Every structure is written in structure tokens, then in C-alpha cells.
Amino acid sequence: MREVVLDTHESGLRALLSITRGDDTEVVACTAQEGVGLAARTGVPLYATAEALADTGEPTDDDGHDRLH
């Protein structure tokens, strides 16, 4: 695995995994949680698109945290 990118999808966040085999690169989608876990366990870079980090405009939660997607 080369990298994990968090991106938006019609149902919310998702992770795109770039898997390299020789000269070929394949992109596989999974849940954002799975992607973050894989990046943490394997040590590959974790990126996010601007859309994935966009503020939803909703108020903060009870603990004062801003909501992302």
C-alpha cells in the first residue's frame, strides 16, 4: 500500500487506498475508519481532500468539537 486518502462520497466519508504491485497501481475504496486504521498500522501516509475536511456549517457538539462530514 502506498497511501490512504480520505475523500467524500454521497454517503459520507470514505478512504481510497492506493495499492502498488510492480508498475501497476490500483485504487480501492473502504470506510474512512478502515482506511485510518490501515494507515496507522502500516505507517503509510494519510491524506485528506479539502472536501473531506470541509466544515459542515453545523454547530459544535456538546463537547465543543466542530463537526466534519
Helix, strand, coil share (%) of the chain residues, nearest 5: 15, 40, 45
Give the residue-averaged pLDDT of 20-44: 96
Q: Which pLDDT does position 65 carry in this prediction?
A: 66
Question: CA 47 → CA 5, 17, 29, 40, 63, distances in Å?
Answer: 5, 10, 14, 12, 26
Q: What is the pLDDT of residues 41-69, one digit of tens each?
A: 999 999 999 999 886 666 667 776 666 55
Which pTM was predicted?
0.78
Cβ within 8 Å of residue 54, ≥6 positions away: 8, 68, 69
Domain ranges for the chain, please list them.
3-48
